[in-house]
Amino acid sequence: MPINLSNSYQTLGESFSQRILPTPVAQPSLLLWNEPLAKTLTIPLTKDNDAELIAQYFSGNRLIEGSKPIAQAYSGHQFAHFNPQLGDGRAHLLGDIADSEGKRWDIQLKGSGTSNFSRQGDGRCALGPALREYIMSEAMFALGVPTTRCLAVVTTGESVYRERPYDGAVVTRVAASHIRVGTFQYFAARGDIDSLKKLTNYAINRHFPELIIKSPESTSDNGDTNKPDNEMSSEQVLRFFSAVLAKQL
């Protein structure tokens, strides 16, 4: 039974991300596997029966069938200064997957190698931060706080050099989205209005479909919107902005 990944974000175009494969690691070994989350995501793998295959998939050494890995582009603030190009310097979005209720979730590897956004970084993650992310994200989930979750932690058999050598790891993140405020800032800072509209349309259709404003002119017989990506209404955008703000309260 396969893992059924889609690549919806990857279809937005080259300006949104870099197509790049994860960098293989020396000796991937499964340390933690979130079995309840895997079941929710309809991933038919268990630690008892599939530890080696899980380690290969979620270290980046072996691609899940259908996956088209990317490093996402975005802006943000770093060291109190706005950086117009941050991006995924050590992460790869493998794709998105539907859970048992049909909701789609991003699957992302962290510590999986470099990209054009790495600057001087090595693209890797130490085991300690990977374990902390796993523990804290699951604790927040248990408390009812919307956040990313962790599916797996795989050790790499390699050292990661920071202030001293640490054991390396790759952590698998699961999130409803990896779109950030900085993703919108990335295109706004460049004056790329077409891409900004395209991103907004994608975000509304995937994450806030209830906000889609339909009319006889823009809706086909089967209810699908036929508007081009860059022709959403101002009202639709304002409804989206308000919905995002409401979720922050």
What does the pLDDT look like over 140-190, one tens digit per residue? 999 999 899 999 999 999 999 999 999 999 999 999 999 999 999 999 999
Evaluated on CA atoms 81, 87, 91, 94, the torsion sign reads positive
Which residues, including other chains, have CB under 8 Å from residue 137's CB and lie 6 or more apart? 147, 148, 149, 150
pLDDT at 231: 64
Reply yes or no on whether the pLDDT at 223 is more than 60. Answer: no
Reply yes or no on whether the pLDDT at 240 is more than 70. Answer: yes
Which residues, including other chains, have CB under 8 Å from residue 171's CB and lie 6 or more apart? 109, 110, 111, 125, 130, 133, 134, 150, 152, 153, 154
**pTM, rounded to two decimals:** 0.90
Q: Residue 213: which pLDDT band, with cuts at 50, 70 and 90? A: confident
Q: Give the rounded percent of residues in the chain with a pLDDT score beyond 70.
A: 92
Reply yes or no on whether the pLDDT at 229 is more than 60. Answer: no
Average predicted confidence (pLDDT) for the chain: 92
Gap between the Cα atoms of 108 and 8, Å rounded: 14
Give 127's DSSP letter: H
Q: Give residue-wise pLDDT tens across range 2-38.
A: 899 999 999 999 999 999 999 999 999 999 999 999 9
Across 115-133, average pLDDT:
97
Domain boundaries, the chain: 5-175, 192-247
Helix, strand and coil content of the chain, in percent to the nearest 5, comes to 35, 25, 45
Gap between the Cα atoms of 106 and 104, Å rounded: 7
More confident residue, 28 or 228: 28
Contact of 20 with 71, CB cutoff 8 Å: yes
Q: Residue 221: which pLDDT band, with cuts at 50, 70 and 90? A: very low
Three-state secondary structure call for residue 26: coil
pLDDT at 225: 37
Reply yes or no on whether the pLDDT at 235 is more than 70. Answer: yes
Across 236-247, average pLDDT:
92
Q: Which amino acid is at 110?
A: K
Q: Residue 216: which pLDDT band, with cuts at 50, 70 and 90? A: low
Three-state secondary structure call for residue 69: coil
